[in-house]
Amino acid sequence: MNHASALAATLGFRPEFKLSEKLATGLPALDARIQGFPRGAVSEIAGPESSGRATLVQSLLAASTSNLEICAYVDTCDAFDPCSAAASGVALEQLLWIRCGHQAEHAFRVADYLLHAGGFGVVVLDLCRVPDRMCRRIPLSYWYRFRRAVENTPVVLAVLEREPLAKSCASLILELTRKRAIWAGVPGFHLLREIEVEAVSRKPVRSGTAYFQAKAIA
């Protein structure tokens, strides 16, 4: 292997990438429904607070870093928890964590730089805590630019949000809902142990629903 090939392999470039390739999340019920997240595309993970968004994206990052890929997490509003990510199997030494200080415009610029630089298995853009008024002002041209940046690459761009934003520019839109909370303890002192999450594929439309558990980290 020459120096150029060695550097490309280290950074995660894979010349054998195929357009139909997907990255499994490691959540069996969900993977059976959607066959994984498409590479070279924009994917949206939408849902309210405590709907399993963090569990899903951590599973996705764990799957990618277990393949020795480098990943990036663009954290708009300080929502990322490295301790729970590590407990979920994410190799933190292979994760670039960028904190954007509640500045959505900064987060979009950072994501743009990362996508055009290339070499990542997964890039997460976390917009969950960005105010609705700011989300509604995001130009559609941003999403078209992101879609063009990742196409024909092995990158999974996963956007975390409360409601779908990229819409027509996304190849996968997952809507998550908390269905049931499981508590443990004695009367008067209960601890949340896990929640049951319902995942529905809004794009492409899939019949049926996938369920997975999001466990609380002690």
**Residue 127 resides in a domain:** yes
**Residue 23 resides in a domain:** no
**Residue 171 resides in a domain:** yes
Number of domains in the chain: 1
* pLDDT in the model for residue 86: 96
Mean pLDDT of 199-215: 90
**Residue 7 resides in a domain:** no
Instruction: Give residue-wise pLDDT tens across range 66-94.
Output: 999 999 999 999 999 999 999 999 999 99
**Residue 60 resides in a domain:** yes
The pairing of strands 95-99 and 41-46 is unpaired
Short-list 41, 107, 105, 40, CA closest to 72: 107
Token pair for 91: 């190799």
Check which CATH number belongs to the domain holding 94 and give it.
3.40.50.300
